[in-house]
């Protein structure tokens, strides 16, 4: 399974589609604001095969006319942890 390189891609795609925007339109919106983004790069971001730098996030939010915090999941998967010892019992020492 390929590595997931960003957490905002699927949310960015949902926002874009909900607002009736094409990838080309979002890329153009970002370009006029100074972020050199192509449709292909946006497709890679949405499919999580390209990392997103922190300085790119505000441009992407503007591109889909959203607030920055809307691009992030409420509970990032990287923060969800399964307890090592789910029953709460102590592990025997070796």
pTM: 0.77
Residue predicted with more confidence, 49 or 3:
49
Ramachandran category for residue 87: left, alpha or beta (phi over 0 → left; psi -120 to 50 → alpha): alpha
What mean pLDDT comes out for the span 9-38? 97
Helices (H) and strands (E) in the chain, counts: 4, 0
The more confident residue out of 83 and 28 is: 28
CA contacts within 13 A on the Cβ side of 59: 20
**Cα atoms in the Cβ-side hemisphere of radius 13 Å centred on 5:** 12
pLDDT bracket for residue 61 (50, 70, 90): very high
Q: Provide the pLDDT for residue 54.
A: 95
pLDDT of residue 86: 59
Residue 90: is its pLDDT beyond 90? no
Superfamily of domain 9-68: lambda repressor-like DNA-binding domains (1.10.260.40)
């Amino acid at each position: 399974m390929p590595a997931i390189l960003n957490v905002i891609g699927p949310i960015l795609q949902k926002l874009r589609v909900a607002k009736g925007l094409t990838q080309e339109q979002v890329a153009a919106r970002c370009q006029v604001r100074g972020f050199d983004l192509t449709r292909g790069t946006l497709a890679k971001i949405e499919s999580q095969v390209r990392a997103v730098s922190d300085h790119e996030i505000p441009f992407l939010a503007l591109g889909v006319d959203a607030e920055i915090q809307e691009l992030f999941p409420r509970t990032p998967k990287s923060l969800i942890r399964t307890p090592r010892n789910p029953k709460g019992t102590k592990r025997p020492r070796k």
